[in-house]
Structure 1
Amino acid sequence: MLSSAMQRGLLAVLLWPSLLTLSIPLDCGEEQSNLSRCPSISQEKLLDRVIQHAELIYRVSEESCSLFEEMFIPFPLQLQSNPAGHACITKALLIPSSKSEIQQISDKWLLHSVLMLVQSWIKPLVYLQMTLTRYDYAPDMLLNKTKWVSEKLISLEQGVVVLIKKMLNEGMMITTFSEQDLFHQNAQPDMLESVMRDYSLLCCFKKDAHKMEVLLKLLKCRQNDAYNCA
């Protein structure tokens, strides 16, 4: 008989196409799914669309992390607070983390913080797509989710850039990470180390995706009620 994890994975594969169709928001037009085509819409609507993207990215990253955990991570290792013992790749970024720090930063730095997070994850997610294709029994659901998030993240980057130009009249700020900075890994790591590294990457991205969503929602709150956004 199939294990419960395998059964859930099979069910997820069957349901993924319909769930994905229902969850993709319309962007700047009925035929468009690219936030870079949003300069013609209002700042308020653009911010709403960017938040929609961030919400979906976080939701799918959470599902991906849970599915990966069920399929590949032994239960004792699931209980570890820091799964792979690696610091998240965005730890070096000067992103406010505490509630008080976030409340004190300007709208400008809220937007630039989101942009730095988005840009710093584009290459790692491409790397993750490549490594997952080498897994035995990796469900198509997981591969599709990772590919979808990677594509949606690029669209989110484009939307945030347009939003920065609209709100701040500024250009794009690019973060610079080399692959060596992002992945401190052996040329041929053993299987468990490789799996735990990928698990850590997924968990870190889930955390940062949630942070992107929170920062963008705080920005929206400030637009509507600057004095009551606890």
Structure 2
Amino acid sequence: MAHRGTNGSKIFITVLCIVAACSAVPINDLLDRASQRSDTLHSLSTTLTQDLNNHVPPIGWMMMPRPSLCHTSSLQTPNDKEQTLQLSESDLLSLARSLLQAWQDPLVDLSTSANSLLHPSQTSISNKIRELQEHSKNLGDGLDILSGRMGPAAQAISSLPYRGGNDIGGDKISQLTNFHFLLSCFRRDSHKIDSFLKVLRCRAAKVQPEMC
């Protein structure tokens, strides 16, 4: 019992040290790191989507759900850059965090399904999905720290229920189609997250809005 208590104390102290270190980092630097991470996330999701495009059969494209059926579509987000620039810093961060959190479970489904995906680059896709999960978690941790620095409004998160299961299809064509659809939804949302964070970074650096 004493040994466990000692380990627990060490972990607690380590967490405190990390929090203290992050508290000393200027918000500009935190936003730079978050923006770089979100850029990587979007680039990786774009590459993955392109990898799949040529391997979805014609019937798969006919079965593909509309983008409006993405589970995050209920979240009210800006339609263009002009609308994005009108939002407050807290609102932008809240939207980014809401979208990112909404993808925790779907990314698990993508990772599970990637292991049996009917695709010539199945192993590479599976590895990239795991990278997406890692980058998403790291970005989420960074945004949690940022929200703590920016106040209660930035800490608000909208709940976006995901009603998927442990896998995303029965037959191979359905699985590939649903996998592509879910990944396309993530690509769309990762672009939104990246855009929101780049605007935040520009504002923190006092760059003119039209340059963001």
The verdict on a shared fold, with TM-score over 0.5 as the criterion, is yes
Partner of 1:67: 51
Paired residues in the alignment total 191
Amino acid at match of 1:49: R
Partner of 2:140: 157
> Measured at CA, do residues 215 and 135 of structure 1 come closer, stay the same or move farther in structure 2, by a change above 3 Å?
same
Deviation track 1:151-174 (CA, whole Å, cap 9, x = no partner) reads 110111111111111123667444
TM-score when scaled to structure 1?
A: 0.71
Residues 1:40 and 2:24 aligned together: yes
Are 1:84 and 1:199, in contact at CA under 8 Å, matched by a contact in 2? no
Amino acid at match of 1:54: S
Amino acid at match of 2:76: L
Are 1:132 and 1:138, in contact at CA under 8 Å, matched by a contact in 2? no
1:205 to 173, 186, 202: 186
Are 1:60 and 1:145, in contact at CA under 8 Å, matched by a contact in 2? yes
**How many angstroms apart in 2 are the aligned matches of 1:185 and 1:128?**
9
Residues 11-90 of structure 1 mapped to structure 2, 5 A cutoff? 38-70=22-54, 72-74=55-57, 83-85=64-66, 87-90=69-72
Partner of 2:199: 218
**How many angstroms apart in 2 are the aligned matches of 1:77 and 1:145?**
22
Partner of 1:193: 174
Deviation of 1:189 (Å): 3.9
TM-score when scaled to structure 2?
A: 0.77
Amino acid at match of 1:153: S
Deviation of 1:44 (Å): 1.1
Identical amino acids, percent of aligned pairs: 24
**How many angstroms apart in 1 are the aligned matches of 2:147 and 2:186?**
23
Are 1:50 and 1:159, in contact at CA under 8 Å, matched by a contact in 2? yes
**How many angstroms apart in 1 are the aligned matches of 2:151 and 2:97?**
14
Task: Return 5+ residue gaps in structure 1 as ranges.
Answer: 1-34
Amino acid at match of 1:119: Q
> Measured at CA, do residues 139 and 185 of structure 1 come closer, stay the same or move farther in structure 2, by a change above 3 Å?
closer
Deviation track 1:152-210 (CA, whole Å, cap 9, x = no partner) reads 10111111111111123667444434442xx3999964432222111011111111111
Deviation of 1:103 (Å): 1.9
Are 1:161 and 1:171, in contact at CA under 8 Å, matched by a contact in 2? no
**How many angstroms apart in 2 are the aligned matches of 1:74 and 1:109?**
40
Are 1:58 and 1:206, in contact at CA under 8 Å, matched by a contact in 2? yes
Partner of 2:108: 126
Deviation of 1:134 (Å): 1.7
Deviation of 1:74 (Å): 2.6
Amino acid at match of 1:103: L
> Measured at CA, do residues 187 and 161 of structure 1 come closer, stay the same or move farther in structure 2, by a change above 3 Å?
closer
> Measured at CA, do residues 88 and 74 of structure 1 come closer, stay the same or move farther in structure 2, by a change above 3 Å?
same
**How many angstroms apart in 2 are the aligned matches of 1:189 and 1:112?**
36
**How many angstroms apart in 2 are the aligned matches of 1:131 and 1:109?**
34
Deviation track 1:13-55 (CA, whole Å, cap 9, x = no partner) reads xxxxxxxxxxxxxxxxxxxxxx977333221111100001001
Amino acid at match of 1:65: T
> Measured at CA, do residues 161 and 226 of structure 1 come closer, stay the same or move farther in structure 2, by a change above 3 Å?
same
1:96 to 75, 78, 83: 78
